[in-house]
Amino acid sequence: MEFNALVVERDEGGKTAATVQQIGMDRLPEGEVTVAVDYSTLNYKDGLCIGPGGGLVRNYPHVPGIDFAGRVESSADPRYAPGDAVVLTGWRVGEAHWGGYAQKARVRGDWLVPLPKGLTTRQAMAVGTAGFTAMLAVMELEDHGLTPDKGEVLVTGAAGGVGSVATAILAHLGYSVAAVTGRPETADYLTTLGAARIVPRAELAETVKRPLESETWAGCVDAVGGAMLARVLGQMKYRASVAAVGLAGGAALPATVVPFLLRGVNLLGIDSVLRPYGDRVRAWDRIARDLPMDRLEAMIQPATLSDLPELGAAILQGAVKGRVVVDVN
């Protein structure tokens, strides 16, 4: 039996190309659970893995797709039976292991979580790794004392995947969200998601000149990193926290330690890839509860496997709005 997959191949000169191909079940990697994939999605990392790999892909030919949702087809893991609806994010699937850009995937049972009650497989992938990580970031901020009465919460890279979901969740929880975007044309979209005000990217783009500016933000979900994160640290309120999620604007952090020392600011690292099972289940349950499904729907851009090479390049340019949902069938 054969199935469709987006396969990335690399030629002898090191150049990669991604095409939709029919491949046999015998080519699937090892794993206890074979899943008939319904949907996958597009994250920043997928953009890297569809293209030259960004150092993430180890072996070619490769099937990218760092997340998927579908139904178990066969299982040697007693926790999963044929027909069970499941979700996968992380564990380097789609990077070191073949991923979700295919009608079939084979993975370790430990990497799966049951589809949370109240979500369809399509909605789970509208959330995807980006949205799951946004939820983890909000939970981490809450664990460090953030409550809606403390003041405005900043979301950077707001029109992207992490930023869109973070904006919608925070607004639903009663926070006043200030959404940073470099795309003014997304203002209506961000307001629909619940943003209370739009902050132009240019206002935070300059590198730190003064280590402390006025205390403005009670919390921050940061998908951008780089100079913007450095600026934001100096604008946090006393003992407020920033959840560092991404590096869409750069990996370097041209900051000073002054906000940590004089304002007790916390910089919280968010990793979604190796999160233990219990954390994953808690985060998905919170998503099902705290992310309004009409706002999630407003984020969705539908796509098929053959759209992915173009969309992969677009997400690396910061040109994808919201969440791409890939119907692999």
Question: Where along the sequence are the contacts to ligand NDP (CB under 6 A)?
Answer: 43-45, 129-130, 133, 157-163, 181-183, 186, 201, 223-224, 228, 245-249, 270-273, 315, 318, 320
- Give strand pairing partners of 120: none
Output 72 or 326, the one with its CB closest to ligand NDP. Answer: 326
> From residue 120, how far is each of 48, 243, 318 by CA, in Å?
27, 28, 27
Output 224 or 283, the one with its CB closest to ligand NDP. Answer: 224
Residue with tokens 């090191």: 14
Which residue has the closest beta carbon to ligand NDP?
160
CA atoms within 13 A on the CB side of 167: 34
- Give strand pairing partners of 70: 37, 86
| Residue 142, Cβ density class (10 Å: 0-12 exposed, 13-18 middle, ≥19 buried) | middle
Q: Which stretch of DSSP H or E encloses residue 132? A: helix 121-143
Output 23 or 66, the one with its CB closest to ligand NDP. Answer: 66
Output 28 or 326, the one with its CB closest to ligand NDP. Answer: 326
Q: Is-contact 7 18, C-beta < 8 A?
A: yes
Residue 125 CB, nearest approach to ligand NDP (Å) = 13
Output 182 or 259, the one with its CB closest to ligand NDP. Answer: 182
Residue 221 CB, nearest approach to ligand NDP (Å) = 10
Output 134 or 146, the one with its CB closest to ligand NDP. Answer: 134
d(CA 93, CA 88): 8
Q: Can the peptide bond before residue 61 be classed as cis, meaning omega within 30 degrees of 0?
A: yes
Residue 264 CB, nearest approach to ligand NDP (Å) = 24
Residue 23 CB, nearest approach to ligand NDP (Å) = 27
Residue 40 CB, nearest approach to ligand NDP (Å) = 13
> From residue 33, how far is each of 79, 83, 133, 319 by CA, in Å?
10, 12, 24, 35
Residue 61 CB, nearest approach to ligand NDP (Å) = 24
- The greatest distance separating any two alpha carbons of the chain, rounded to the nearest whole angstrom, comes to 63
Q: Which amino acid is at 121?
A: T
